[in-house]
Structure formats: C-alpha cells, structure tokens
Amino acid sequence: TNVANSYRLQEECDVLALRMAKFKGAVVLSEFRSVMLASLRSLVKDWASLHEVSWSWLWDNVERMLKTLMGRPAKQEASLAAFLASLDESSLMTIRREVYSKFFTLAPAGQDYFKQSTT
C-alpha cells in the first residue's frame, strides 16, 4: 500500500497539493478530517476503535505534509515560468523531447493520451 511507502505517500500529497492550489477558496483540512471519519464510520460495517486510530494517524500525517506544501505550487509555478522564458527555442525543444521520453518510459500507457492521427 502507499501508506507503507513514505515516498509514495509524499508523492500523493504533492499531487494533492497541486490540485488544491488550483482551488479558488479556503481549504480547511481539519473539516475534511471530520467528514472523512464520519463517512468511514457509516460505510464500514465493522468499524472499531482501531480503525479510528489508524485513519486518524493517516490523516494527521497527510495533513502535516499538506500544510508544509501549502502556497508552494504558486511560487514554484512562477519560478518555472521565469526559467522557461529565459531559454532559447533550441533548449526548449531539448527539454520537451527529454520530458516526453522520460514520461513515456515511466508511464507507457500515457501514449494513449497523446496519439495523433496520421491521416
């Protein structure tokens, strides 16, 4: 599972932080915890105190990771935009090729989303 792999959990939090950065409005993580636990209690028939402790521990860790990431995506986006604007067309083309090459190596199924018609 992703919980057992701290790097994967961090990666999931990174993605979640990016998605949350696009949200227009306040994000109140503590309110999510209450809703999450109430939903789980109603959905899991054999809910017990061990479940409560486990999910609370998980959310405490996710919330801590997300709080450290809050506000960073906007700063990183601005820095990336400035960096890319400073590059010439040849450098940009090299970066594009390398990114796509690495992406398709790591996630071959991604090719299904980038297919172009040859007709």
Q: What is the pLDDT of residue 26?
A: 86
Query: Is it the case that residue 115 has pLDDT exceeding 80?
Result: no
What percentage of the chain has pLDDT greater than the value 70? Answer: 94
As a whole number of angstroms, the distance between CA 103 and CA 8 comes to: 17
Residue 40 scores a pLDDT above 80:
yes
The pTM of the full predicted model, rounded to 2 decimals, is: 0.69
